[in-house]
Amino acid sequence: MKNGVEKGNFLWGVSSSPYQHEGGYNGPGQPLNNWASWENTGKVERSGKAADFWNRYEEDFDRAEMMGLSAYRIGLDWTRIQPEPPPKEMDEAALDRYADMIAALRVRRLEPLITLCHFTTPQWLGTDPWLDENTPAVFAAFAGSMLKKLNQRLTDKGVRPPTWFITLNEPNMLAACTYNVGAFPAGRRAWWAAALCALQTILEAHVRVHREVHGLYAHHPEWGAPMLTFNNFASDLYWMDKMLVDVLEGARVTEGREPILTYLTDRYREFTRAYRAMDFPHHGLFSEAVGELIKQVQHGLSRKFLHESTFSRLLPLVRERRDEPVVDYICFDYYDPFVGNAVRMPTFADLRLGRPGLREWLTQSLTTKWWDWKALPRGLRFFVERYSAEYPDLPIVIAENGMAERRCRSEEICERRSDQQSRSYFLRQHVGEVKKLRAEGLPLVGYFHWSMTDNYEWGTYDPRFGLFGVDFKSPDLARMPRDEGGDVPWQTYAELIAGEK
């Protein structure tokens, strides 16, 4: 065993999330999450059945097995399992279904990577759960109790419980999309201060869940050794990405009297020097200039709003058990991490994206471009090398990597990406970079493509990320292999990893 993975067991996988793939939320008699009011008032498109993964997971697992994958990322949804607040009992049928999912993965020799909270929270937690300092304890209690019940079901079936976990998905994007951009539901808009408050609460929740799950598994050594972390959206904005790992690790190695901000500023300078030393392909002088400006503005805002008191609960929590790890591996999602590429002029076509308000239209148009992300596989190398240099004892997993086609609502008519890039070409670039990094001995132990099928993308069905397309207008949500002029993306992925173990 090295870096938490048995030799020869690289995690080649695909990713999914409950709200985006399972479907069955926010309707009459269905579990209600914090997006329910936005769906019910028409602020976003209704999620409906999504890709109906809840009922069709086995056929998607069959596709993964057919492709020769070795892992699959799924979520155990807090809302579905605990639709009513404690002391109400958990939903036993939901636990049974998730146990069946994990058993189905094990039968196909697919290692489960389990996400415990993928952006959404139960409606009963309110509109701003990550501004409430009680939420981490509530979440940790749920995670511990839920996994105890779930793993008992699995062991009763003779199935090995999961050991790979992501506690919370993309804390940096959750905080930013909720309080900086306004793309996720919230009860208030306090901009930078609220985003930083949410980040502290989310990181505190991670630490408490990490301890809860390790404690649970210590009482059941036959379950195996758990591996827990959180995954950030990789970004060249240090203060909204790498800072989150650094503040947790920094709390362990700094003394109580040493300002954590001094430690983080040193890390920021190292990150900036390493970034500037990389010879990245240029995507245009305008985007690079804007990116540098945004980074300087963000650095200035961080100096203004970040204080020792920003982490007043988090630092003592970590330091009370500083000898214990706070993450068991490094995990990040890699799309287009360079902020300068995000800036573009708004277009009227963006009004289709499910947020019709003028403010949302302008904000989303200027700062979101998931249907046309620029591909830069060498940036993936930058983040793997950076983390492996600073945290050499931690394995690294890429929990998401993918590209979207921007499609019209009609299945027959779709807009091509401006770069005309195909999904197969994207896979060859990025999986090829992963294979190079592995060959060079870097501690990369997993790669997960987003996603097996098209899905609900946070308010809209317009972007399509699937290796298999989904006809959302058909009653059976038929899966369709994509064909790019003879190039079939799922076959491309399968061919790239054939023989790679």
Report residue 279 CA to chain centroid gap: 27
Radius of gyration of the chain (CA): 21
Tokens for 424, please give them.
């197969």
pLDDT over threshold 50, residue 75:
yes
Determine contact, residues 172/199, Cβ cutoff 8 Å.
yes
Question: Picking from 137-141, 251-255, 453-457, 477-481, which range would have the lowest pLDDT averaged per residue?
Answer: 251-255
Prediction pTM value: 0.94
> What pLDDT shows up at residue 307?
84
What is the pLDDT at residue 322?
93
Q: Which residues is 166 bridged to in the sheet?
A: 115, 229
The closest alpha carbon to 144, from 112, 124, 167, belongs to 167
Mean pLDDT of 253-261: 83
Lookup result for tokens 């505190």: 204
Q: Is the pLDDT of residue 289 over 90?
A: no
- The pLDDT value recorded for residue 302 is 80
SS3 call for 158: coil
- Across 145-301, the runs of DSSP E, i.e. the strands, are 164-169, 227-233
User: What domains appear along the chain, each with residue ranges and CATH number?
Assistant: 11-497 (3.20.20.80)
**Per-residue confidence band for 359, with pLDDT thresholds at 50, 70 and 90:** very low
Extract the runs of DSSP E, i.e. beta strands, from 137-192: 164-169
CB neighbourhood size of 263 (10 A)? 17
- Residue 119: is its pLDDT beyond 90? yes
Phi, psi of 162 (to 5 degrees): -70, 150
Res. 354: pLDDT tops 60: no
- Mean pLDDT confidence for 353-375: 54
CA distances to 59, 74, 281, 309 from 37, rounded to whole Å, are: 32, 25, 43, 33
Inter-residue contact 106 to 160 (CB < 8 Å): yes
- Residue 341: band (very low, low, confident or very high) from pLDDT cuts 50, 70, 90: confident
When pLDDT is cut at 50, 70 and 90, the band that residue 416 belongs to is low
* pLDDT confidence bin for 362, thresholds 50/70/90: very low
* Token code pair at residue 360: 């949302």
For residues 341 and 287, is the Cβ–Cβ distance under 8 A? yes
Q: Three-class SS of residue 216?
A: helix
**CA torsion angle 229 231 236 241 (round to 10):** -60
What is the arithmetic mean of pLDDT over 482-494? 93
pLDDT at 180: 86
> Does the pLDDT value for residue 20 go beyond 70?
yes
- Please give the backbone phi and psi of residue 398, each rounded to the nearest 5 degrees, phi first: -95, 105
Span of 102-106, 206-210, 279-283 with lowest mean pLDDT: 279-283
Q: What is the pLDDT of residue 484?
A: 85
Q: Is the pLDDT score of 408 beyond 80?
A: no
Average of pLDDT values for 436-460? 96
Q: What percent of the chain has pLDDT over 70?
A: 88
Determine the pLDDT at residue 417. Answer: 72
Mean pLDDT over residues 102-109, rounded? 98
Reference 227, options 381, 484, 2; nearest CA is 2
Per-residue pLDDT band at 343 (split at 50, 70, 90): low
- Between 362 and 268, the higher pLDDT residue: 268
Task: Tell me which DSSP letter residue 189 carries.
Answer: -
Identify residue 159 by its one-letter amino acid code.
Answer: V
Instruction: Pull the structure tokens for residue 484.
Output: 């790019």
d(CA 236, CA 248): 19
pLDDT-derived band at 290, boundaries 50, 70, 90: confident
The two tokens of residue 264 are: 């983080």
| pLDDT, average across residues 439-458 | 97
What average pLDDT score do residues 482-488 get?
Answer: 89
CB atoms within 10 A of CB 282: 8
**Percent of the chain at pLDDT above 90?**
72
Confidence of residue 7 (pLDDT cuts 50, 70, 90): very low
Q: Summarize the confidence of residues 390-397 as an average pLDDT.
A: 98
Nearest of 160, 280, 136, 268 to residue 224 by alpha carbon: 160
Q: Are 35 and 50 in contact (CB under 8 A)?
A: no
Look at residue 307 and give its three-state secondary structure. Answer: coil
Q: How far apart are CA 426 and CA 376, in angstroms?
A: 9
Q: What is the mean pLDDT of residues 440-461?
A: 96
DSSP tag of 19 = I
CA distance 71 to 336: 24
Whole-number pLDDT of residue 173: 94
Instruction: Give the C-alpha separation, 452 to 456, whole Å.
Output: 13
